[in-house]
Structure 1
Amino acid sequence: LELVSPPPTHHPSGAGKTSLLYLTIAYAILPANFAPSIVLEGQDAAVVLFDPLSHFSVARLAEVMLNLLISKIQGTGRDLDEATKATMRSLVRRSLLHVHIFRPQSWGSLISALRSLPDYLFDQTRHKSMHRRIHSIILEDIDAFTWSIRSSPSSSLASTTTSNLLSVASNNLTTQLTKLSTLFSCAKILTSHSMSPSAFRPVLPTSWPQGSAVTRLAIRRVEVLKFAPAIS
């Protein structure tokens, strides 16, 4: 799944990709039920997130999860007493242990982290998610590495064009992601900005292996027009 928004120059505010990720992750890591009579529709799974720009906020994710729990509980007519609130907070804390966040600062470190991910996930001494399946591997702001790829040392070679550099990088990325998604039977989610406001196509990856099923979701903020004078 590719979540693509217009370039940052198109609108000063975000398009909502990260907000959508918060909700997706909340459902992924929460359990199926809060109580026998309160269905959460959670997946009781784990999520791996790569966040190179440090945009992702665990505090915000916790807030989204609490709001989701409140909505589900109040929907059954149950009161939010202090005991219920304490149980909610405890559930959120336990669930957050299953969000594994990596913040690579270079393209090379991202690829290296992807390659070593199985070693990390299969090592029960390093996390508490061994008993959970992997819901998804999420790469946020994947386009953040575009300029470093274009300015890599190999780009000084006359025979190496920018498109070739991005193509090679894209192939490395999609190869690793395809291997991981097959190994863990999990989803792949990437977020990025498009190359132009009118074409919702990410810079990376440039393509996916033949036969890959890819869904691209274009997300943008829609301006709300102000009321005309004398209209309220």
Structure 2
Amino acid sequence: MAKHLDLEEQEQLDQIKHFWAQYGNLITWVLIAVFGSMAAWNGWNYWQRSQAAKASALYEEIERAALASDADKIQRAYLEMTDRFAGTTFAAQGALLAGKTLYESGKVDGARAALTWVSEKASDTSLQAIARLRLAALDVESKAFDQALKTLETPMPKSFEPLAADRRGDVFLAQGKTEEAKTQYQAAWRALGAQTEYRQLVEVKLASLGVDASTLGGAAEVTR
């Protein structure tokens, strides 16, 4: 009986050897690929967390510089952030904050550069939209009306379309095109929710042009 079992075990061992000789290399490479992928995934997650932490630290530096109105430090920090951590949300948020602070410090060109970076490079479409609205405001201020309208032509998330219409109204009003301005303000007013505080500002603009918002109809398409 023992001898029979020994023969059976030997046969099984021979089968295993034959199987491994035929498929061993394939199995080894599959295991290497699986464990390699796991290591790469863990490494990627670690790298992502590391990048986010470093970007967060730079964003805090921008915030501190903004509170101190240190325009030069803000510019250095945001340029470093957009260079080293361009793919993070912190980079776009930092550039937006830098744009705001640089503008308030009288560095309009620096503000424009920061906002342009966000409008073109940010991964978040909402942050891109905010940057474009602010760029259009700078264009109006510098009387670059055609550029402002061109900036606002770029599609934005639906929630930003009323704000884009309002900004186009500002452009037309600055050009003395009151009818076009009314059309844009009306479209913005209709598209904004009744509880939205910004709607009240649009209502004031309409009133200054002789339009009573209470006479306007319901929701309408935002025209470009």
TM-score (norm. length: structure 1): 0.25
Compare the two structures and name the one with the higher helix fraction. 2
Greater relative contact order (Cα < 8 A, sep 6+)? 1
TM-score (norm. length: structure 2): 0.26
Compare the two structures and name the one with the higher strand fraction. 1
